[in-house]
Amino acid sequence: MDRLAGPELDLRLREFLSEDVGSCDVTTEATVPAAARARGVLVVRSACVVSGLPIARRVFELLDPELIWENELPAGSRAPAHATMAMLSGHARAILTAERVALNLLQRMSGIATATRRFVEAVAGTGCRILDTRKTAPGLRAFDREAVRDGGGVNHRDSLGDMVLIKDNHRRLAGGAAEAIARARRAAAPGMTIEVEVESEEDLQEALSAGADAVLIDNQTPATVARWCAIARAAARPPSIEASGNMSLGNVRAYAEAGPDAISVGALTHSVVAADIALDLQVSP
C-alpha cells in the first residue's frame, strides 16, 4: 500500500476524526456561531521539507466540502521558517474541528520528510540510497512511506508479504542461512527477492553460497562493511547490499562510502520529530 487515495484514504481519515472528536467538539459548538466563516494560513514556524498537504486538505474537506484551498506548496519542496504552506477558507466550525487531525498528520509527515532529506543529502554523491523500514506507528505506515518519498528516500518492503528478509532469529530457527534460503526458495513466489541479514563473515559466505539476492549487513563498523562489500561483489552472482544499525547523520556518510547500495534508517519513522507548523485563523466575511 504505497499510497492512500480515494475511499480508502477517506475511511482512514474519518476514523482519525472520530477518535479525536468523540461525541462532539463541545468547545467549538459552544463558542463559535454555526454560520461563522474563517480564513487562515498554515504557517511553518521552523524550516522543513513539505509533505502531507493534500492529506491535510482532505481532512478539512471531509468536514467542509465547500472548503477553499489555495497556494499549496509542492510536496518535497523546502519551506523556510515563516513560510505559508497553504491558505484555506470555509466554515469556521469545520476548520476548528478538523485542525488537530490535519496538523498531526502534516507535522508528522513533514518531520519525516525533513529527516529523510538530511540523510539523503548526507550521502549525496556516493550512489547510496536511503531506505525506510517497517518501524512505523501502526495505522500510519502509508503516510510515513509517502513522507519518506517526499524527502527523497526510497521505500523498503511495505509488509511482510512483499519480500523475504531472513534475519537472525529466522536463521537460528531454520538451522542456518543456507537452509533458510532453501526453504524460502521453495515457498516464496517466483522472482520474489530473498534478502539475508548477516552478522559475521561466515554468515556472509553462507548467504553468498546459497544464492541470496541481497544481503543486509547489520550493526558493523564502516571498515567491516567495506570489507564485506568487497567479498560480496567478488561473488559469482553478486547480491545487492544493504547496511543498517544505529545510523545517524554523523556516521551515515562513512557507511555510504564503504560501498553498500542502500542504507536503511529506522529512525526516519520510529523517532519522528514533528515539524513545527501552525494554523492561524481569522474571521472571514
Q: Is 195 part of the annotated catalytic residue set?
A: no
Of 135, 183, 185, 227, which is the active-site residue?
A: 135
Query: DSSP letters along 95-144, please?
Result: HHHHHHHHHHHHHHHHHHHHHHHHHHHHTTTS-PEEE--S---TT-HHHH
Q: Is 58 part of the annotated catalytic residue set?
A: no
Grid coordinates representing 219? 550493526
Residue-wise pLDDT for 210-233, tens only, equals: 999 999 999 999 999 999 999 999
Which residues are CB-neighbours of 277 under 8 A, at least 6 positions away? 42, 43, 44, 45, 48, 85, 103, 106, 107, 110
Mean pLDDT of 133-159: 96
Of 64, 146, 218, 242, which is the active-site residue?
A: 218
Please say if the pLDDT value at position 281 is more than 90.
yes
Mean pLDDT of 174-194: 93
Q: How confident is the model at residue 21 (pLDDT cuts 50, 70, 90)?
A: very high
Specify whether domain 6-120+272-284 bears CATH 3.90.79.10.
Answer: no
Q: Is 167 part of the annotated catalytic residue set?
A: yes
User: What is the pLDDT, as a whole number, of residue 16?
Assistant: 98
User: What is the pLDDT, as a whole number, of residue 5?
Assistant: 85
Q: Is 218 part of the annotated catalytic residue set?
A: yes
**Where are the chain's structural domains?**
6-120+272-284, 125-270
User: What is the pLDDT, as a whole number, of residue 2?
Assistant: 60
Q: pTM for this one?
A: 0.95
Of 167, 183, 185, 227, which is the active-site residue?
A: 167
CATH superfamily of 125-270: Aldolase class I (3.20.20.70)
Q: How confident is the model at residue 285 (pLDDT cuts 50, 70, 90)?
A: confident
Mean pLDDT of 57-61: 98
- Contact call for residues 255 and 218 (beta carbons, < 8 A): no
Please say if the pLDDT value at position 1 is more than 60.
no
d(CA 27, CA 143): 29
- With vertex at residue 109, the alpha carbon angle to CA 104 and CA 112, rounded to the nearest 5 degrees, is 125
What share of the chain in percent tops pLDDT 70? 99
Of 197, 203, 206, 242, which is the active-site residue?
A: 197
- Whose CA is closest to 275, among 41, 75, 117, 112? 112
Which residues are CB-neighbours of 272 under 8 A, at least 6 positions away? 108, 111, 112, 115
Please say if the pLDDT value at position 24 is more than 60.
yes
Mean pLDDT of 40-65: 97
User: What is the pLDDT, as a whole number, of residue 284?
Assistant: 85
Mean pLDDT of 248-256: 98
Mean pLDDT of 100-115: 98
Q: Is 135 part of the annotated catalytic residue set?
A: yes
CA distances from 96 to 24, 102, 250 (A): 12, 10, 41
Task: Give 265: exposed, middle or buried? Use CB within 10 Å, 0-12, 13-18, 19+.
Answer: buried
Of 14, 100, 183, 185, which is the active-site residue?
A: 100
